[in-house]
Structure 1
Amino acid sequence: MRRTRHVGRIGGAVTAALLTALGVAAQPATAAPARPAGPVAAPAAGQTCTAADLGKRHPVVKSAEVSPAITHFKGWYVTQGSTGTQTISTNVQETISVSVGVNGSVQGSFAVEALGTVGASLGLNVQVNYTTTSSTNKSITWDFYQPGYYGLYEGTKKVTGTYGSLNCNRTQQADGSWALKWTEGPDTGSYTTFTTLEEGAVRCEDKVPANSIMRKAQDLLDCGSPAAAAKHPAGPVPSAKAGQSKHGADNAATAAKAVQSVKATQATRAAKPVKPAPSAALNCQPGAYKIDVPGKPLNWSAPLLANDGIRLRESNWTSAHLDNWRLCNVTERNGVIEASLWNWGNGGCATIPADIANQEQAYLTTATCGEDDLQRFYIYRDVPGSTKIGLQNKYTGSMLGHDRYADGELIRQYSSGRQDGTGTYTLTAV
């Protein structure tokens, strides 16, 4: 049974809306506890921002669902005379991996901030760094005081949901004037995390809280009614145990296959570049632009060499138009421009390389133009009259910026943008 909570736009001091506890750990597991997630200082939608914020991004939690999950389980008969301390090997039921967005992991400060916001909004201590529950069988040591039919388990609360992002962008006000405000951008995604692991043992006849981890484990015993559950005989383990063991082994095999499948998919995405589609016919605007650092002479220039990236260069450092860009296949939604960036000098489109797209600080380069979200960018603009902008990759959701102001410095992606304001550029017509 699941409990779903929809969370509105969250910013500033995050509102702590506590959910009803889903069960109390009978005996704590030896696994490291989840990292506490305190309030996250973040802007709220509608608050004012400045041009220095154009290249920044903050998470906004759109929904959160909390459900008990059993990661390991074993049905176990304790006979008269065999009570006391026993160590039982439990089988894998489910493997939970922490992830945010398309990368299947937790990369960069945006993901950590998003999970911290989730934990604070729910009043739960959730994992905010990449980790996974165990994908192998594990032993649980337990003190049995009475004979009976028990379910030995390790479990947690699985937390899933969706998020959006707040970006700084120009907004027209009721009087027709313009202002920079934090608005919910087009970028969205999903997340998965979990709370502290707990171990326990439960019998069919035990009364346990609904929606709890213990109740989830009790359901796996397939007890039926409490009256029927009380009729399980104590004594030597009957042949049904063999069926239970096979069931657990089958579940473990299924879980292991699922984990391997997820890992293989992630490895393929991370290691195998996506082949670009045949060069699409671009509908480009007639003007060309430089993408400058505001008030300084360095601007984006396409790479001269293969396997190199877009770098900051001095204006007119080459006569090959490598520092000239056109906006192509332009669309606009809620004041946010989406476009491909076509380079006049080499005829390629700006892109994040597919084999490193899941990495924080992956560099920006050019490639043959195609229908690929890695080549699409959201452009956030200052108020009319200013040419300052921030850029965000559509596929990864990361903002574009640079580590330091220096000739030859690579343009890279940062999940939350550059908090020192160096992710703000100027779109200068040439």
Structure 2
Amino acid sequence: MRLSRTKIHRALRIGAVALVAGMLVATAGGPASADRWGGGGPLIPQYPKPTKPCSAANLGETTFVVNAAEVNPTLTHFLAIHITAGTTGEHSETLETVNEVTTQVGQSTEITAKGTLGFVEVQAKVGFSVQTTTSSTNSTSVTDTWNFSLPGYYGLYKGTRAVEGTWLEYQCYQLQGGGVPTHPHWFQVGGLESYKTFSVLEAGTIGCADTPPSGSVRFQARLYLGC
């Protein structure tokens, strides 16, 4: 059967309306955490938004939202030492480097003023201080003096809590719509960006009889001592 031109045009209009209606239903029925293009496309991630205000008073400001932060106790310097009877007392020892932790944003170890802003947000996220400028655990002295009162097998160590994750950059902008300025709003700049930093360095000794808490730098030193 051959359709007339009028019937063909009517069928095309009906098909187009059905397609748009289907897309609206798919969008409205999608999960709150992510949307789908056309109901069957890739998930669109919903990243956290800034909680600080964006108003006319702070137009052009930059803020960061930490999307993820993983804390790992990390041994940076270590030396095993055997203290026998008659050799107790003060010892000056140089520790060997076993791991290096640096501050890093993306692939760069040079931290800009903007990166420092991001690390301030990391501090708030993890609840302890971290390095916010260009830093490395190898920039500190690795020679220390120790005093042993009992013979034994000891580990001399330095370490830190390494932190790594991702964050998002936002800037406060005000758009112009038809010559009328819109309400200021935080706009995401780029996608997720990775970062690395670390907390203060911890130094100490560990013995085979010690039972430090798991998840601590001392625990990592005890494992490294290999009793």
TM-score by length of 2: 0.68
CA shift, 1:195, in A, is: 1.1
Letter in 2 for 1:206: D
2:69–2:125 contact (8 Å) kept in structure 1: no
2:50–2:186 contact (8 Å) kept in structure 1: no
1:73–1:93 contact (8 Å) kept in structure 2: yes
Letter in 2 for 1:153: Y
Higher strand share: 2
What does residue 202 of structure 1 align with? 206
CA shift, 1:78, in A, is: 0.7
Looking at structure 2, the residues matched to 162 and 68 of structure 1 have their Cα atoms a distance apart, in angstroms, of 18
Please state if 1:149 is matched with 2:153: yes
Q: Please identify the structure whose Cα radius of gyration is greater.
A: 2
Structure number with higher relative contact order (C-alpha < 8 Å, ≥ 6 residues apart): 2
Looking at structure 2, the residues matched to 86 and 93 of structure 1 have their Cα atoms a distance apart, in angstroms, of 21
Q: Deviations over 1:207-239 (max 9, x none)?
A: 11111111111111122xxxxxxxxxxxxxxxx
Looking at structure 1, the residues matched to 76 and 49 of structure 2 have their Cα atoms a distance apart, in angstroms, of 31
Looking at structure 1, the residues matched to 131 and 194 of structure 2 have their Cα atoms a distance apart, in angstroms, of 15
Give the paired residue count: 175
What does residue 33 of structure 2 align with? none
Please state if 1:60 is matched with 2:68: no
Looking at structure 1, the residues matched to 188 and 117 of structure 2 have their Cα atoms a distance apart, in angstroms, of 16
Residues 62-141 of structure 1: pairs in structure 2 closer than 5 A: 62-108=67-113, 110-134=114-138, 138-141=142-145
Q: Deviations over 1:400-428 (max 9, x none)?
A: xxxxxxxxxxxxxxxxxxxxxxxxxxxxx
Q: Deviations over 1:295-314 (max 9, x none)?
A: xxxxxxxxxxxxxxxxxxxx
- Report the secondary structure of 1:80's partner residue: coil
CA shift, 1:50, in A, is: 4.2
CA shift, 1:69, in A, is: 1.1
Letter in 2 for 1:217: A
Residues 177-192 of structure 1: pairs in structure 2 closer than 5 A: 179-192=183-196
Residues 286-365 of structure 1: pairs in structure 2 closer than 5 A: none
Looking at structure 1, the residues matched to 165 and 58 of structure 2 have their Cα atoms a distance apart, in angstroms, of 30
2:81–2:155 contact (8 Å) kept in structure 1: yes
CA shift, 1:201, in A, is: 0.5
Q: 1:116 to 1:10 in 2, by over 3 A?
A: farther
TM-score by length of 1: 0.38
Q: Percent identity?
A: 32
Looking at structure 1, the residues matched to 187 and 82 of structure 2 have their Cα atoms a distance apart, in angstroms, of 58
Q: 1:154 to 1:52 in 2, by over 3 A?
A: closer
Letter in 2 for 1:155: G
CA RMSD, 1 decimal: 2.5
- Report the secondary structure of 2:160's partner residue: strand
- Report the secondary structure of 1:134's partner residue: helix
Q: 1:135 to 1:168 in 2, by over 3 A?
A: closer
Looking at structure 2, the residues matched to 11 and 115 of structure 1 have their Cα atoms a distance apart, in angstroms, of 15
CA shift, 1:131, in A, is: 1.5
Letter in 1 for 2:138: S
1:168–1:182 contact (8 Å) kept in structure 2: yes
Q: Deviations over 1:334-355 (max 9, x none)?
A: xxxxxxxxxxxxxxxxxxxxxx
What does residue 162 of structure 2 align with? 158
- Report the secondary structure of 1:129's partner residue: coil
Looking at structure 2, the residues matched to 140 and 50 of structure 1 have their Cα atoms a distance apart, in angstroms, of 54
2:77–2:97 contact (8 Å) kept in structure 1: yes
Q: 1:136 to 1:157 in 2, by over 3 A?
A: closer
- Report the secondary structure of 1:117's partner residue: helix
Q: Deviations over 1:285-340 (max 9, x none)?
A: xxxxxxxxxxxxxxxxxxxxxxxxxxxxxxxxxxxxxxxxxxxxxxxxxxxxxxxx
Higher helix share: 2
Q: Deviations over 1:149-198 (max 9, x none)?
A: 11101111111111111233579xxxxxx643214343321111111112
- Report the secondary structure of 2:122's partner residue: helix
Unaligned 5+ runs, structure 1: 1-7, 13-42, 172-177, 224-430
Looking at structure 1, the residues matched to 123 and 83 of structure 2 have their Cα atoms a distance apart, in angstroms, of 39
Residues 6-45 of structure 1: pairs in structure 2 closer than 5 A: 9=48, 11=50, 43=52
- Report the secondary structure of 2:96's partner residue: strand
